[in-house]
Amino acid sequence: MMKHLIYILAFAFIGLSIVSCEEEPPYINFEPTRVTYETTYVETNIPQPQARVVLLEDISGVRCVNCPDAATIIENIKATNPGRVNSITIHPNTASLDVFTRPIVKSGHESRQDFRTNEGGQLLSKLGIPGSLPSGYINRKVFPGKVNRFLERTEWASAVQNEKDSISPVNLSVKGSLDGDKVIADVELTFTKALGGDYYVSVMLLEDSIVDTQEYQDGVSILYDNNYVHRHVLRGIFTGYAGDRIDGTKIGGNEVTLVPGRVVKKRYSLDTKPLWRKDKLEILILVHRGSDEVVLTCNKYSFAK
């Protein structure tokens, strides 16, 4: 009996040792990704690093009466910092914000499109859902003195100034093309500095200058603008809302390590929908850390001529 007990304890110890010494499992992206081609190599001639481009993600809704003011603030920020800020407007399909985001049904002012996206709702669930709108993220960063990533619109300009004056450790290039009803995104990442930790690339599809109804106010009443121009609206995400991990993965049998000169090229494909204007589509690419989601830099391609 004692002998059997010893065997049982020995096997239990071995099993416990295996569990406790288990290595971190390889990264698996469970989000829908639409990669049709990818390659990687290390370039010996390392290019000059690009200036950092700040990402401003505006959380908005067609029933948000102060959101037009937020949109004006964004355009002013971009005009003040030419080429250094990209923006995206997210209408999340999130229950807690539905009062702001669901289409307008008032007679004579009905919304012609529903801008809500499930990807936008998933992104907010990951980054933090504000209690009211408008709100937004600047480089998805939690700024000093804050407990959340989302900021009031009056805080955006100063946050952008704090973020823009730096050099990015990765150069980004993105080009778009159309193949029937599919949008093709060709992205290239070139690392100019060695990086440790987990890093992700996210590729998003936007549509600019969509004319549709928007609520606003004059200080007293809620009014409706049937010809409001909605800017840089999120339509879909090529990579899934969490992005595609870059480091620690294998491409063509080659393990991706983020050393100076590392080049990663990927091609993505995404189906369009009938109401989307293809000549107003935009592709936004960003690289962000997995540990805290902070965006290193971003770049954009526009189909507008």
**Helices 67-80 and 156-164, interaxial angle, to 10°?**
30
Q: Beta strands of the chain (E only): which ranges?
A: 35-42, 54-59, 85-90, 135-138, 170-179, 182-191, 199-207, 210-217, 222-230, 233-237, 244-245, 250-251, 254-255, 262-271, 281-289, 295-302
| Predicted pLDDT at 165 | 82
| Tokens linked to 229 | 């121009």
On whether the CB atoms of residues 216 and 225 are closer than 8 A, the answer is yes
- The DSSP bridge pattern shows strands 35-42 and 295-302 to be unpaired
270 to 112, 210, 232, 241, 249: CA distances (angstroms): 23, 20, 17, 14, 23
Q: SS3 for 45?
A: coil
In angstroms, the CA 87 to CA 96 distance is 23
Provide φ and ψ at 120, rounded to 5°.
-65, -40
Termini Cα distance of the chain: 84
DSSP code string of 83-110: TSEEEEEE-B--GGGHHHHSPP--TT--
Neighbours of 250 (CB within 10 A): 11
Provide the residue ranges of all domains of the chain, joining segments of one domain with +.
32-302
Answer yes or no: CATH 3.10.100.10 is held by domain 32-302. Answer: no
DSSP code string of 206-253: EE--EEEEEEEE-SSSEEEEEEEEE-SEEEEETT-TT-EE-TT-EETT
**CA neighbor of 72 nearest in space, from 204, 212, 206, 216:** 216
**Radius of gyration of the chain from its Cα atoms, rounded to whole angstroms:** 23
pTM: 0.88
| Predicted pLDDT at 21 | 37
* Digitized pLDDT (tens) for each residue of the chain, 305 residues in all: 434 444 433 444 334 333 333 343 443 445 556 899 999 999 999 999 999 999 999 999 999 999 999 999 999 999 999 999 999 999 999 999 999 999 999 999 999 999 999 999 999 999 999 999 999 999 999 999 999 999 999 999 999 999 988 899 999 999 999 999 999 999 999 999 999 999 999 999 999 999 999 999 998 899 999 999 999 999 999 999 999 999 999 998 889 999 999 999 999 999 999 999 999 999 999 999 999 999 999 999 999 97
